[in-house]
Amino acid sequence: MLKEKLKGFIELTRIEHAFMLSLAVLIGYALSNNLVLDVEHIAGLIVPFFIEMGAFALNDFLDFESDLINKRVDRPLVRGSVTKKEALGITLTSFLIAFLLSFLINAYARAVALLFALLSIAYDFKLKDLPLIGNLVIALSMGIPFVFGALIGGKISNEIIYISCAAFFIGVAREIIKSVEDMKGDLKARKSRTLPILIGKRNALVVALFFITLFIPFSLLAFFSLPFKISGLLVFLLAYLLLVKSLFLLNEPGKSRKIMLYALGLGLLAYLFQVFLPF
């Protein structure tokens, strides 16, 4: 019972995404040429972690009927391993922790954190039902952690701009693919007007591919603007192989998004190797 509850909590909050956001903040912080970890910088790593957890828990709480229709048994609320009351409690607790910790960071970073907490709430309630707008909001939340980390460190470099743009473009693509996956339930339960509902599954996937083509040059610029490390290059190439594999599975949106997530995780690891490892 406890094991199932813990598994449900991890799935509800998408805790792997939270760790990736914190890694993105760490990369932004390191690229600002400030590697001194104090209370402010540790708080800066934790704030987006809890914002992400709260946002995903709220998303599943509000999407319960849609997920039932889509037969999303990967969602803990649908399986019953987490109750709606527990999901709401996790949402409120996560946002409260993030809000309190935000007062330990500087005013610019705090403003960014609070803005995106509000945007994530607006997304869960309404923005996700609008064509492309909801996708752009989530994509911004993927690109902004690097800037957030740089604001804590005190300097926004060209590398930060490149990697933030890359994360934004791949984020738009991935969210459009998610909209394709969820279109049946979104239309029936939420009366959504997402991009694939308006222009069709095939056309929406073409738009996703367009954003992936924008991602490629920025990801390459970000990677090769850093000091060369063979370890980083090997992981970076593996990330690109997974990305290519995800593109061959676009007609199976769920599988494509999962593999793309692995590719993004490896991509973050490659950037970390470039920044921190000596070889």
Q: What is the CATH number of the domain that holds 169?
A: 1.10.357.140
The Cα–Cα gap between 212 and 95 comes to 31
Range(s) of the domain holding residue 190: 2-276
The chain-wide mean pLDDT, for the chain, equals 89
The total domain count for the chain is 1
- What pLDDT is stored for residue 101 in this prediction? 92
Q: Answer whether residue 189 shows pLDDT above 80.
A: no
List the one residue out of 241, 224, 243 whose CA is nearest residue 232.
224
- What pLDDT is stored for residue 33 in this prediction? 67
The Cα–Cα gap between 268 and 266 comes to 5
Average pLDDT over residues 18-39: 82
pLDDT by residue (tens digit) across 151-168?
887 778 888 999 999 999
- Residues 6 or more apart from 2 whose CB is under 8 A from it? none
The Cα–Cα gap between 55 and 90 comes to 10
Residue 27 class from Cβ within 10 Å (0-12 exposed, 13-18 middle, 19+ buried)? buried
Average pLDDT over residues 236-240: 96
Average pLDDT over residues 128-153: 88
Specify the range with the lowest mean pLDDT, choosing from 96-100, 187-191, 197-201: 187-191
List the one residue out of 248, 255, 246, 243 whose CA is nearest residue 219.
243
pLDDT bin (cut points 50, 70, 90) of residue 35 is low
